[in-house]
């Protein structure tokens, strides 16, 4: 679990651990530090703010770490809003080492499906078993390659396509080939009943050579051995937001800085900014949708906040 995208899951876990110990934490994940210490590749990484000497000025554990903390908070809020509105089915695509099924206060009757590679899920379960963690919702785990067909396997776990679903693809689409992204969006659309929602992250513009030389990317390579730029798929990206709008979803795009402003803390813009191209996409399946019925709209259905 120490190579490629699996190692990025450890990077995010370390960022969540640091965030959890901040006095002004945006999100708290008490399990994150256990994953970091359990893997040889990350055993020496920081897990507390006092272990990051430059604080939030540190490009990796400070600025990028705070980005992951903010992203965690925003997506936690999104899922819990859906649950408190009556959605009882949650699917975490590329669930990684996040423990939303354990750390969030789910309403009664919720089921959380976690989908990721067998290797990531096995490591995750081993560490959770050591901590004695107990889920706060019914938890269903599915080992699957999200670059391939995974919809039928999800149905076999008890997923109900007739019930509204809160879908989340946190930090996933950046790594998928373009065709896999198209297939993922089409599968979510096919399996989503009225009242479903989807949140995911993209980069919506190509990054300049100056941005690709950002201290964030350099620090990740030097300190963790993770070359994020080599993991991001290099193909031209599909317009997934536009695709969802064409399929009848309402879609909104936000920058991370929209939520920095909302919460009063988090990363802020800087020159040659490695976070400037990041967009968090929130989509909702309209009330008229039902199984077997699809109706398209124009891409004007996409609203974008690009501050």
278-288 confidence digits (pLDDT tens): 999 999 997 64
- DSSP letters for 93-132: ET-TT--HHHHS-PPTT-EEEEEE-HHHHHHHHHHHHHHT
Rounded-to-integer distance, Cα 117 and Cα 120, Å: 5
pTM, to two decimals: 0.92
Is residue 293 pLDDT above 80, yes or no? no
**pLDDT 10s digits, 114-124:** 999 999 999 99
Q: What is the CATH code for 63-304?
A: 3.40.50.150
Q: How far apart are CA 147 and CA 124, in angstroms?
A: 21
**Phi, psi for 96 (deg, rounded to 5):** 60, -140
305 pLDDT above the threshold of 90: no
The CA distance from 165 to 53, in Å, is: 42
pLDDT at 287: 62
What confidence tier does 298 reach under pLDDT thresholds 50, 70, 90?
A: very low
Alpha-carbon gap, residue 262 to 283, rounded angstroms: 20
CA angle 77, 181, 70 (to 5 degrees): 25
Q: Do the Cβ atoms of 78 and 84 come closer than 8 Å?
A: no
pLDDT (tens digit per residue) in 151-198? 999 999 999 999 999 999 999 999 999 999 999 999 999 999 999 999
């Amino acid at each position: 679990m120490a190579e490629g995208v699996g190692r990025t899951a450890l990077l995010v876990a370390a960022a969540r651990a640091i965030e959890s110990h901040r006095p002004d934490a945006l999100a708290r994940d008490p399990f994150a530090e256990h994953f970091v210490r359990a893997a040889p590749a990350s055993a020496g990484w920081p897990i507390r703010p006092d272990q990051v000497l430059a604080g939030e000025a540190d490009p990796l554990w400070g600025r990028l770490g705070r980005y992951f903390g903010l992203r965690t908070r925003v997506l936690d809020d999104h899922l819990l809003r859906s649950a408190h509105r009556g959605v009882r089915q949650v699917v975490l695509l590329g669930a990684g080492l996040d423990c939303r099924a354990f750390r969030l206060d789910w309403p009664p009757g919720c089921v959380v499906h976690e989908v990721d590679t067998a290797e990531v899920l096995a490591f995750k379960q081993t560490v959770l078993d050591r901590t004695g963690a107990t889920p706060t919702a019914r938890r269903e785990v599915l080992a699957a390659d999200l670059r391939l067909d995974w919809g039928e396997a999800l149905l076999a776990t008890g997923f109900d396509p007739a019930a509204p679903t809160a879908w989340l693809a946190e930090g996933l689409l950046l790594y998928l080939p373009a065709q896999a992204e198209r297939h993922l969006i089409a599968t979510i659309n096919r399996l989503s009943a009225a009242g479903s929602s989807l949140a995911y992250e993209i980069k919506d513009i190509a990054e300049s050579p100056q941005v690709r030389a950002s201290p964030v990317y350099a620090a990740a390579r030097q300190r963790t051995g993770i070359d994020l730029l080599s993991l991001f798929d290099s193909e031209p990206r599909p317009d997934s937001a536009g695709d969802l709008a064409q399929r009848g979803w309402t879609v909104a795009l936000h920058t991370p800085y929209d939520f920095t402003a909302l919460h009063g803390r988090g990363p802020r813009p800087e020159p040659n900014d490695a976070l400037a191209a990041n967009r968090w996409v929130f989509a909702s399946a309209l009330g008229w949708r039902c199984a077997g019925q699809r109706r398209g709209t124009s891409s004007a259905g996409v609203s974008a906040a690009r501050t």
